[in-house]
Amino acid sequence: MKKSKRKFFQQQLKKLNETEKKQLYKRAANLRKASQVDAMKRKHSFRSRIDHRSNWDNESNFEKKKKTPKMDIDDWALKVLEEEGIQTLRETCRHREDLGEYSEKYYGMIEEVMPAESLVYSEGRDVKCIIGPEFSMTQKSDLAVGDNVYFSYAKDGTAVLHSVEPRKTCISRPDPTKAGIERVTAANVDKAVIVAAIKRPELRPSLIDRYLIAAQKGGVEPVVCINKIDLINEYAKEKEMEVLKAYQEIGLKVVECSAASGLGLDKLKESLASARSVFVGHSGTGKTSLLNRLCPCAEAQTGSVHNGTGLGRHTTNNSKLYHIENNIWIIDTPGIREFGLWNMNPDDLKWYFEEFDYFAENCRYSDCSHTHEPGCAVKQAVEENQISRTRYQSYLRILETISKNSS
Ligand SMILES: Nc1nc2c(ncn2[C@@H]2O[C@H](COP(=O)(O)OP(=O)(O)OP(=O)(O)O)[C@@H](O)[C@H]2O)c(=O)[nH]1
Ligand SMILES: [Zn+2]
């Protein structure tokens, strides 16, 4: 290092506080060690070359030529200051102060949330994390599968979760038992695959409509997946599919498949490529069976439906994230009985039935709710089969429920 430069960095060194100096000398010692190891390696590889080439200079001559002036620890400290800069050093110190007794922070994604801990996927590994104290104090809603988080290791090796990044997208609903509490089914998902069965349990379009609204609200692209098509013949299928035409007409992707026979699974897989998706729907529709078919290594537990009612037995009881080839990520969720809508204003509901928009422009009243008003162009479109009656009835039913809940 030139004299003038050396003087400059010596002055910078004087400006550092004790912690910063300590950090600087630690870096310097590490660098010196690394350089010594490097020199040893070079020497070793030089020796082996000498063994193979007899016409090389002898070793001592070579080493003499390569000799550089010996550096003491202060020189190494100045070298660190020169190469890394005083700013980086100060930031590192601040970062370490924030972390206190913990290791550096790691980034990961929640795979499963358990009562006292969470499973986090980070750099190709599954890490069990406990919730850090400052995290429990600042976190307003619960953690959800798909959340992106930061964690670090405490001195005893325990992984501790510190913070969660704001969610980009989510599927959520009100807690069915505690009013006013939001339950996030999945966070940061690109797609919501609404899994319904053509039979056993019976197809319920109103549930599909509710999920479609939740997906739109949460910024998630919906895909309608009709499973168990092996259970009905072509004629019956056509009749059932008539109901689903309304979804195709509003531009939704509808995939028919069978986890049992494998039919349509390629199409389903295609629509999941390079995305993080969540499987949602009633219990027993075959969400876990589909997951197992797409990813045999998942080996998730499935359960039979009731013989008489055809209803599911709520086999999956915890949401879990699975990684499948082709950069496909799937969150399997427990089946639900009812799906409520979180934070939905009754006046806004109509905007989530986008096929109404075109006709609503001609309603007599600009704030028409399309329920009882005279001159409602949406109701007329339903009468004329231009809007699906099933979808309209869904709208009325959902409106009634959320109006009751919000009054
Ligand atoms: N015939 C037929 N049966 C299926 C198909 N897919 C799933 N099943 C059966 O349906 C039952 C329920 O399947 P699961 O995969 O456990 O359903 P689930 O939606 O994950 O249920 P929950 O975990 O309770 O939400 C099981 O007996 C499956 O074998 C299918 O495509 N055809
Ligand atoms: Zn109207």
Q: Is 352 or 99 the better-scoring residue by pLDDT?
A: 352
How do residues 173-210 score in pLDDT, each as one tens digit? 988 787 788 889 999 999 999 999 998 888 889 999 99
Residue 151 has pLDDT above 80, yes or no: yes
Domain boundaries, the chain: 3-99, 106-164, 184-332, 346-406
Residue 63 has pLDDT above 80, yes or no: no
Expressed in percent and rounded to 5, the helix, strand and coil fractions of the chain are 45, 20, 35
Q: Which atom of ligand 1 is nearest to the CA of 257?
A: 31
Q: Give 9's contacts (C-beta < 8 A, 6+ positions apart).
A: 1, 78, 81, 82
Q: Which atom of ligand 1 is nearest to the CA of 316?
A: 23
Nearest to 286 by CA among 171, 199, 392, 174: 199
Domain boundaries 184-332, corresponding CATH code: 3.40.50.300
Give the residue numbers of the binding site for Zn(2+). Answer: 363, 368, 370, 376
CA of 334 to the centre of ligand 1 (A): 12
Residue 320 has pLDDT above 60, yes or no: yes
> Class assignment of domain 346-406?
mainly alpha
Q: Give 279's contacts (C-beta < 8 A, 6+ positions apart).
A: 193, 195, 225, 287, 290, 291, 330, 331, 332, 333
Give the residue numbers of the binding site. Answer: 227-230, 281-289, 363, 368, 370, 376
Q: Which pLDDT score is estimated for 91? A: 72
Domain boundaries 106-164, corresponding CATH code: 2.40.50.140
The closest ligand to the CA of 229 turns out to be 1
CA of 286 to the centre of ligand 1 (A): 3
Residue of minimum CA distance from atom 7 in ligand 1? 286
Burial of 145 (0-12, 13-18, 19+ CB in 10 A): buried
Q: Which pLDDT score is estimated for 51? A: 47
Residue 50 has pLDDT above 60, yes or no: no
Judge contact between 288 and 300, C-beta under 8 A. Answer: yes
Residue of minimum CA distance from atom 14 in ligand 1? 286
Q: Which atom of ligand 1 is nearest to the CA of 332?
A: 20
Residue of minimum CA distance from atom 13 in ligand 1? 286
How do residues 285-306 score in pLDDT, each as one tens digit? 999 999 999 987 766 666 666 6
Average pLDDT over residues 378-386: 97
Residue 366 has pLDDT above 50, yes or no: yes
How do residues 225-240 score in pLDDT, each as one tens digit? 999 999 988 777 777 7
Q: Which residues form the pocket of ligand 1, taking CB atoms under 6 Å from any ligand atom?
A: 227-228, 230-231, 258-260, 283-289, 302-305, 312-316, 334-335
Q: Which pLDDT score is estimated for 94? A: 67
Average pLDDT over residues 156-175: 89
Residue 121 has pLDDT above 60, yes or no: yes
Q: Give 155's contacts (C-beta < 8 A, 6+ positions apart).
A: 101
